[in-house]
Amino acid sequence: MKKLMAVASLLTLAISASTSAASFTLSSNDIKQGEFMSQVHEFKGFGCTGDDLSPHLKWENAPKGTKSFAITAYDPDAPTGSGWWHWQVVNIDKSTTEIAQGAGSEGHAAWLSTASHVDNDYGSPRFGGACPPQGHGVHRYQFTVHALSVEKLELPVNASGALAGYMINANSIATSTIEALYKRD
């Protein structure tokens, strides 16, 4: 009975230690889970007239073993059969834990010292804002920060969004996502 009590005590201790550990979290001053984004995050082009600014993002409590980060923004509701990559940044230095609004725009990439953009589905290596077809209803935009187990993902210069996504997911040890919404009536 004493052995059983000792084992139960150890299990309780282990469970409480693991549940009290801080989890990898993503927050933003600009976007909120399940809420509509502002027009400042709408694409400028393809009939959209937004400011095309990436949102502020801040992440905390990266797991042990994190060697770099990646950021992705994806619309699974785009009528393409494969969704739409709005943003992919890889090889973000592990010391980076926050980026300002507009950091994904052309000319605002000083924070990308070791990192690089992958071409979005608009064909540009930068953030490309929301631009769902008019009248297509609500689209979900999944902004995800990935804690990676490698310092550098080796990708070809013109890597597709699918290839980059595969390599990011294959090397992710933790992710945190904010799913924001957008529609054009």
Domains of the chain: 22-182 (3.90.280.10)
Mean pLDDT of 108-133: 87
Mean pLDDT of 32-54: 96
Structure tokens at 88: 């992919």
**Which of 179, 112, 114 is CA-nearest to residue 140?**
179
Mean pLDDT of 13-41: 80
Q: How is residue 130 annotated by DSSP?
A: B
- Band of pLDDT at residue 18, cut at 50, 70 and 90: very low
Give the chain's mean pLDDT.
88
Distances (CA, A) of 31 to 36, 40, 132, 141: 8, 11, 17, 10
Structure tokens at 161: 């969004």
Structure tokens at 41: 């995050």
Q: Residue 117: CB partners within 8 Å, gap ≥ 6?
A: 87, 88, 89, 104, 109, 125, 126
User: pLDDT at position 8, please?
Assistant: 40
Mean pLDDT of 128-137: 96
- Band of pLDDT at residue 21, cut at 50, 70 and 90: low
Structure tokens at 164: 């980059």
Three-state secondary structure call for residue 164: helix
* Buried/exposed 156-172: b ≥16 CB within 10 Å, e otherwise: eeebebeebbebbeebb
User: pLDDT > 90: what percent of the chain?
Assistant: 79
The per-residue pLDDT for range 158-179, each reduced to its tens digit, is 899 999 999 999 999 999 999 9
User: pLDDT at position 109, please?
Assistant: 59
Cα 84–chain centre separation: 14
Higher-confidence residue of 15 and 127: namely 127
